[in-house]
Structure 1
Amino acid sequence: MGTVVLDITMSLDGFVATQDHDTERLHAWVFSDAGQTVFGPEVRELMETSWTGAVIAGRRTYDVSGGWGGDPPVPVPYFVISHDVPDDAGERFTFVTDGVRSALEQAQAVAGDGGVYVMGGADIARQFLAAGLLDEIRVHLVPVLLGAGIPLFGGVGPVELEPPRVRCFPRRTELTYRVAGKAA
């Protein structure tokens, strides 16, 4: 089985969204400099070098993205953790209503040797951390202080992490931590 990676964007003061769930400022690095709804060069590079075999997303991420118009950014199966299944779910999406473990099992079954990329908000991240299901945590740290909002790691821990791999980009710093005690 491949690596299970949480991939999430966070402000320098530890928030993944404002109090009203706005993430526009945090995700400015994702889009082209022209502000278009196409992915910028950093995201294309991330996807082109991806080893991902499946993606797990939260329902809010799915809804906010508009289901990516039925064509999500990474061309693999998506598993959306949700309390219900929408009528208009695209064919690339499987809605999982029985928790993070079930979503991971289903994603790993289709990913084969490929990794599983976990995206979404703080709630999904905390559930995966609390269940001990992550091999790596990749944080895209953006140079903004929100001052308040939805914290990424509130209420979870302790979780021991290995020293990070660090990559610097113009609009973010990518920190990748292995969860200590997990097999490589």
Structure 2
Amino acid sequence: MPLVRVHNFSISLDGFGSGEPQSLESPFGHAGQRLHEWMFATSFWDREAGQRGVDAVFAARHELGFGAEIMGANKFGPPGWQDDPDWQGWWGDEPPFHTPTYVLTHRPRPPLEMAGGTTFHFLDASPAEAIAVAREAAGDLDVRLGGGASVVRDFVAAGLVDHLHLVVVPIVLGRGARLWDGLEALEDTFDIESVSSPSGVTHLTFTKRG
């Protein structure tokens, strides 16, 4: 069966996937772009000038083998985007997903077809229901779970994530959206591998045991 995978999900040393408060001007709150600077320095992000080491190898897997994506409401837009009928996401006219993309929200709206193959669908659904819809759309390909932290946490807690790639960035945020809450003893159900990078980040890979 196709897998549910998370890739390139950055967290701070204290486990936060974003800071606060999130706004149109500051999508990651007080964290700014510090959680993602490791990726911006890779050839995955900058094909000409980016480095091609271990970070680039991990980052590139974000693109491979996906037929659908699921994301939370706070990844699609800042607080209050549901009240703006013209809001189309952070990514401009051609979002980078190129697949059916399912946005979890308690206020669904009609699908939004964008250039480049991305169509946003807005679902008021449980994690299991969302996975079922996304898997049908993905066919034989995998489903990417894009975040944010609360969405990843809920899907992991429900036993629905097969592969989880986290990037631990050596900063302390102190507040924001935290990944780890309620996920005690995750090591009992996942095999965990750790790879340190010269950039200072640590790649953690969680693979669900059969």
| TM-score relative to the length of structure 2 | 0.71
**Which is worse superposed, 163-172 or 1-10?**
163-172
Q: Amino acid of the residue matched to residue 13 of structure 2?
A: L
Are the structure 2 counterparts of residues 19 and 44 from structure 1 closer, same or farther at C-alpha, using a change threshold of 3 Å?
closer
Counting only pairs closer than 5 Å after superposition, residues 28-177 of structure 1 correspond to structure 2 as 28-31=37-40, 39-41=45-47, 42=56, 45-48=60-63, 50-64=64-78, 66-86=89-109, 89-91=112-114, 92-159=119-186, 160=188, 161-164=190-193, 166=195, 168=197, 170=199, 172-177=201-206
Per-residue CA deviations over 1:136-175 (Å, capped at 9, x if unaligned) read 1110222222233332111233332213153636363322
User: What one-letter code is carried by the residue in structure 1 that aligns with 2:191?
Assistant: E
Distance 1:73 1:30, change over 3 A: farther
Aligned to 2:18: 17
**Count of residues paired in the alignment:** 176
Given that residues 130 and 157 in structure 1 are in contact (C-alpha distance below 8 angstroms), is that contact kept between their aligned partners in structure 2? Answer: no
SS of the aligned residue for 1:75 comes to coil
- Give the C-alpha shift of residue 110 in structure 1: 1.6
Deviation at 1:67, TM superposition (A): 4.3
Deviation track 1:76-120 (CA, whole Å, cap 9, x = no partner) reads 211111111246833511111122112111111121221111011
**CA distance in 1 between partners of 2:106 and 2:38 (Å):** 30
Residue 26 in 1 paired to residue 35 in 2?
A: yes
What per-residue deviation string (whole Å, max 9, x for no partner) do you get for residues 60-87 of structure 1? 1011593422422232211111111246
Distance in 2 of aligned mates of 1:29 and 1:121: 18
Distance 1:58 1:14, change over 3 A: same
Partner amino acid, structure 2, of 1:172: V
Deviation at 1:134, TM superposition (A): 0.8
CA distance in 2, matches of 1:148, 1:60: 16
Identity fraction in percent: 31
Unpaired runs of 5+ residues, structure 2, are: 23-28, 48-55, 79-87
Contact (CA 8 Å) 1:165, 1:177: kept in 2 or not? no
